[in-house]
Structure 1
Amino acid sequence: MGQQKLATNSIQTGFDKALSHPTIVLSIVQQYCSISYMTTSLHWLSLIISLPTQNATARMRIWRALKSSGCGVLRDGVYLLPEIESAGSILHKQAQEVMQAGGSAYVLKLSSTSPEQDITFRTLFDRTNEYAALKQEIDELRATFESQSIPTSRRSLQRLSRDFAALSGIDFFPGPAQDQTSTALAQATAEFSALSNPDEPTPATGKIKRLNKEKHQNRIWATRKRLWVDRMASAWLIKRFIDQNAKFLWLDKPGNCPKNASGFDFDGATFTHVGSMVTFEVLMHSFSLETDPALARLAATVHFLDVGGIPVAEAAGLEMILKGTKERCLDDDMLLNDASTLFDDLYAAYTNEEKPHGQ
């Protein structure tokens, strides 16, 4: 039967017929639907629900869950998501919630019947206005950095970072609005970092040069003394993955860095912040370590603790432990030694989580 058109009717009649045919695709546009056999690749998933009107609590709970998942609304009780990996589990979970609340629910695969309809569906996921509102909040926060206390600004920046991460997570068709908001957030983060940590390096520009670690063995590596997260983690990365015989020099001032030393995490250093990347990430990319999924997760944690950005669940716990370690240790050598054990443990945990099940 291929692409043979079976029926065109009102949307409710179309639903009734679709639900009695498990092998068909339901394509909805405005007030009409066309039903065709599945012969083309599918691009959308739809959840069709009906809930008892008296169950207001369940209706609100399910509506909020669908909204937070980024579902588009075709009409009352009809929700849409692009056919991405997580869409099926999201919609099936809410379908179960609906049925447990005494309603009916169906998850159907849809394909657009025309390019125009595809555009119509995509407009349901336009996040431009939400990004604009978030960017305005970011710009307003930047204007208050010098008048607000550092803790207040930090909390506000962390909240906006969480909001951006949540919005990006449901932005299935990212475009310029996401890029502009991301840039504004990165600028705000850099400005706040410069105010709260005046010794932090200014991000360099340009591409990161790929290096051969065999040519960086038995070196002296130098950075600013009184180590904190990025420098601790970078020194650990150097010792564990780049130069196992590395010797470290802790500088009173970056200008005191010897010419024969490889400097890191200060202005003018060989390895320092580049663009939105912190020094740990730059070292990873310089020596082609970014393909290690456990290191990539550790990099996200270090990035968040150093300059903010997308929140990481375990970051707060690591930060608290490192603060205690720093208070206890008498000097930077002792601090790096003890902190390295923590990074070893976190790397091992990430590695274990990244293993395929059964290994």
Structure 2
Amino acid sequence: MPSGNSLPPQIQPWLLCIHNIPPKPPYLRAKVARRLAALGAVAVKNSVYALPDLETQRDGLVWLSKEIEQGGGKAFVCKASFDGIEGGGYSDAHIRQLFVDAREADYRNLAAEYQPMLDSLASPGTDEEIEKRVREWSGQLRVRYEEILAIDFFGASGRGAIETMLSTAGAWLASHEQQGVAEQAPFDPEVYRNRVWVTRPGVHVDRIASAWLIKRFIDPAASFRFATGDEGDHGVRFDMVDGEFSHEGALCTFEVLLQRFGLGADSALTILGQIVHDIDLDEDAPARPESAGILALLNGVCLGTDVDEDRISAGSSMLDTLYEHFKRSTQRQL
């Protein structure tokens, strides 16, 4: 399987960043090192770093060189090729291997860090406590893995160990989630077409996201009504006490809808489900790094209007954009 940012074997030329950083200010050297690592650069010689010629890496190096200059140092970015003519070992294959070795080390270190957590799946504790811990660390592992995958330009094989760990944790979570939700075949969306969907007034994260999911993937002709108690009897109730679709076990309403209608195979929807879960149930220990920012956006939507229909409309536009983003980003990793 190709990596998230893999390149064809014939990549030419490379980018080089060559810099000279003064001893003061002291933070500048550490900052440059962090930025180069985030871009995926490898050291060819002292103060000479290489990257494949990709737009993101090119832009990153150009901006970094400007910051070095502003900090009193010297830096420039250029294109180069490595043909090994002088026998110094700097062939194209050698430079590629530097990247593979660097990413193998990243994957190996990440696997070693999270292996004890994987080994603890059978540790004592209540089901709810264990499930929360597994959801938290597996979400963090996935984020860390995706960060490495984004700079794994030549498909280091070490990623397989991380994918196995994520798959194991995911299967464990799925089996425990199903203990809280009765096993059943996915619901047929046709049965739920052209319906009135009822939820509580004052919609916020889970209800806005659930309404978007219903309208886009389950019932395109859905209309929404906002009611409390017995007023909600005439319609399909969601995120309400005794509603047809509401929190079950450790799942928020959005996740229940994904599971009930068999939408979990859509990786972009799964990511959105993790974010809604973070915001609705695990705000203090989010699994996804985007959760806090998306909460801020949804809070802004809700502060802008008290009209529930308008909140759903504005929130749905935002979720449409997020869905397309996660859909494209997950496709690039396949």
Q: What is the TM-score normalised by the length of structure 1?
A: 0.54
Task: Measure how far apart 1:158 and its partner are.
Answer: 4.8
CA–CA distance in 2 between the matches of 1:194 and 1:214?
28
Identify the residue that residue 146 of structure 1 maps to in structure 2. Answer: 125
Match runs of 1:1-359 below 5 Å: 42-53=12-23, 56-113=26-83, 116-126=93-103, 127-140=106-119, 142-144=121-123, 146=125, 149=129, 153=133, 156-185=137-166, 187-188=168-169, 191=172, 199=180, 217-218=193-194, 233-239=209-215, 242-245=219-222, 247-249=235-237, 252=242, 271-275=261-265, 277=267, 281=269, 301-302=275-276, 310-312=288-290, 313-317=292-296, 338=308, 341-349=310-318
Secondary structure of the 1:61 match is: helix
CA–CA distance in 2 between the matches of 1:186 and 1:230?
26
CA–CA distance in 1 between the matches of 2:236 and 2:24?
69
CA–CA distance in 2 between the matches of 1:193 and 1:228?
26
| Alpha carbons 1:42, 1:109 under 8 Å: kept | no
Task: Measure how far apart 1:56 and its partner are.
Answer: 3.9
Task: Measure how far apart 1:110 and its partner are.
Answer: 2.2
Secondary structure of the 2:153 match is: coil
CA–CA distance in 2 between the matches of 1:272 and 1:222?
21
Task: Measure how far apart 1:272 and its partner are.
Answer: 2.9
Identify the residue that residue 19 of structure 1 maps to in structure 2. Answer: none
5+ residue gaps, structure 1? 1-39, 256-263, 283-296, 326-336, 355-359
Deviations 1:139-158 (A, max 9, x none): 14535473694697265455
Q: Label 1:76 to 1:89 Cα distance change in 2 as closer, same or farther (>3 A).
A: same
What do you get for the CA RMSD once the two structures are aligned?
5.2
Secondary structure of the 1:81 match is: strand
Give the number of aligned pairs: 272
Task: Measure how far apart 1:93 and its partner are.
Answer: 1.8
Task: Measure how far apart 1:62 and its partner are.
Answer: 1.6
Secondary structure of the 1:236 match is: helix
Q: Label 1:166 to 1:136 Cα distance change in 2 as closer, same or farther (>3 A).
A: same
| Alpha carbons 1:125, 1:172 under 8 Å: kept | no
| Alpha carbons 1:238, 1:244 under 8 Å: kept | no
| Alpha carbons 2:208, 2:315 under 8 Å: kept | no
Q: Label 1:199 to 1:320 Cα distance change in 2 as closer, same or farther (>3 A).
A: farther
| Counterpart residue type for residue 237 of structure 1 | L
Identify the residue that residue 33 of structure 1 maps to in structure 2. Answer: none
| Counterpart residue type for residue 311 of structure 1 | P
Task: Measure how far apart 1:178 and its partner are.
Answer: 2.8
Secondary structure of the 2:50 match is: strand
CA–CA distance in 2 between the matches of 1:162 and 1:253?
34
Q: What is the TM-score normalised by the length of structure 2?
A: 0.58
Secondary structure of the 1:272 match is: coil
CA–CA distance in 1 between the matches of 2:130 and 2:297?
21
| Counterpart residue type for residue 115 of structure 2 | Q
| Alpha carbons 1:301, 1:314 under 8 Å: kept | no
Identity score, percent: 25
Deviations 1:55-101 (A, max 9, x none): 54322222222223321111210111222221112111221222223
Q: Which has the higher strand share?
A: 1
Which structure's CA Rg is the greater one?
Answer: 1
| Alpha carbons 1:47, 1:105 under 8 Å: kept | yes
| Alpha carbons 1:50, 1:104 under 8 Å: kept | yes
Q: Label 1:79 to 1:142 Cα distance change in 2 as closer, same or farther (>3 A).
A: farther
CA–CA distance in 2 between the matches of 1:56 and 1:106?
21
